[in-house]
Amino acid sequence: MEQQNQVNRSDFNEYMVPVFAPAQFVLVRGEGSRVWDQNEKEYIDFAGGIAVNALGHAHPVAVNALTEQGKKLWHVGNGYTNEPVLKLAKQLVEHTFADKVFFCNSGAEANEAALKLARKVGLMSGKSDKNQIVAFKNAFHGRTLFTVTAGGQPKYSQDFAPLPGGLEHVAFNDLEAAKAVITDKTCAVIVEPIQGEGGVVPADIEFLKGLRALCDEKGAVLIFDEVQTGVGRTGELYAYMNTGVTPDILTTAKALGGGFPVGAMITTNKFANMYAVGDHGTTYGGNPLASAVAGAVFEFINTPEVLDGVKKRYAYFVEKLNALNEKYNVFEQVRGQGLLLGCVVKPEYAGQAKDINNLAAEEGLMALVAGPNVVRFTPSLIIPMEDIDEGLARFERALQRFVK
């Protein structure tokens, strides 16, 4: 019976819709920033579930919250409310600019809620044609038809036409280009403080300030997509806190649940109150299990010890990566903030970031790419320093093999 129930990597191709290309190994357990596959091979985790596993694997704070809530109440639907979701909403409001929260299950859903709200804001303005959404090239906002269109990366959207209309894309960090398209017809501008999937490219502060001024001038909603940058990833609770720019709407997910699926859109009363009962919804959003875990994870991260620790680890990573690069001369630069780091390969290695990652996996290190030319690290926010050292030692072995 045990043999019949055993699964392996070949079962992926046999049973799964082919929209992913996972690694050849199958992971079975994790503890902290280390994971093990079916063959008991150990990996250091610099991928963090794509910036999700903020406390690593099986952290007691998350495990205890989940098991305790699991003994009480699992799901009720949004015809009712529950204590964990009310506590989590209060946490988000008390520690950000927001007055109100809408809970959902993912970053894409949070961005859908934000973009739909922006269209409602435009409609309520009294201007029938105030429905244009301005977004930026090489962005990433999710995989629904609306959010993948907003993302501005044709490789993700070109096979699914006709795409939703009313979206305009301009170059990221180009304020003059934004000025040319943001008009009285614009209902929203959506931007990532750091383009994650787009290559770990930070937004210039003056660019964000300029967008804020343009939105104020034209009566448009400024949306910050902080799905990847939020909940401590940059060393602040949210990346907007590094910029001096406050958005009207912010979306958050990934690290919010520390691995349990949950997302949220947060905003001010001015905009929240334009939604009415029945305008939007979701079956699982605000689920007691997700909310209990997210509340515990959020509380643990939102401390000076953890947030300052992220900044300390950033400095350590950059120092060590630059030292490696002096030896192997593979990267053009290391960029990002906090524990969202991108190693940009030099032009002679264009398109080979994935090859480096594959070698790293063979050496026992899990990492990510951000496009074809950037190796991306998004580890646990509390990754032990010894795991950073061991992970970078394995990364060095991968680089040695890569340059041969």
Domain boundaries, the chain: 2-59+304-403, 73-301
Letter string b/e over residues 81-113, b meaning 16 or more CB atoms within 10 A of that residue's CB: ebebbebbbebbeeebebebbbbbbbbbbbbbb
User: 176 Cβ partners below 8 Å, 6+ apart?
Assistant: none
The residue ranges of the chain whose pLDDT is under 50 are: 1-3
Contact between residue 26 and residue 9 where contact means Cβ atoms under 8 Å apart: yes
What Cα–Cα distance (Å) separates residue 153 from each residue in 19, 108, 245, 323? 17, 15, 26, 33
Contact between residue 376 and residue 301 where contact means Cβ atoms under 8 Å apart: no
What Cα–Cα distance (Å) separates residue 46 from each residue in 227, 339, 377, 384? 18, 9, 5, 12
At residue 53's C-alpha, the angle toward residues 47 and 54, to 5°, is 110
Instruction: Note the pLDDT of residue 2.
Output: 45
The pLDDT tens digits of the residues spanning 267-307 come to 999 999 999 999 999 999 999 999 999 999 999 999 999 99
Q: Which helix (H) or strand (E) holds 39?
A: none
What Cα–Cα distance (Å) separates residue 209 from each residue in 32, 173, 204, 227, 245? 38, 11, 9, 20, 6
Separation between Cα atoms, residue 170 and residue 179, nearest integer Å: 10
**Does the domain formed by 73-301 have CATH 3.40.640.10?**
yes
Contact between residue 312 and residue 23 where contact means Cβ atoms under 8 Å apart: no
Contact between residue 30 and residue 57 where contact means Cβ atoms under 8 Å apart: yes
Q: Which of 63, 59, 62, 61 is nearest to 45 (CA)?
A: 59
Q: pTM for this structure?
A: 0.96
What would the DSSP string read from start to end of 280-308?
S--SSTT-HHHHHHHHHHHHHHSSHHHHH
325, with CB counted inside 10 A (0-12, 13-18, 19+), is middle
Letter string b/e over residues 271-281, b meaning 16 or more CB atoms within 10 A of that residue's CB: bbebbeeeebe
2-59+304-403: CATH topology is: Aspartate Aminotransferase, domain 1 (3.90.1150)
Instruction: Note the pLDDT of residue 152.
Output: 85
- DSSP bridge partners of 133: 167, 188
Contact between residue 227 and residue 107 where contact means Cβ atoms under 8 Å apart: yes
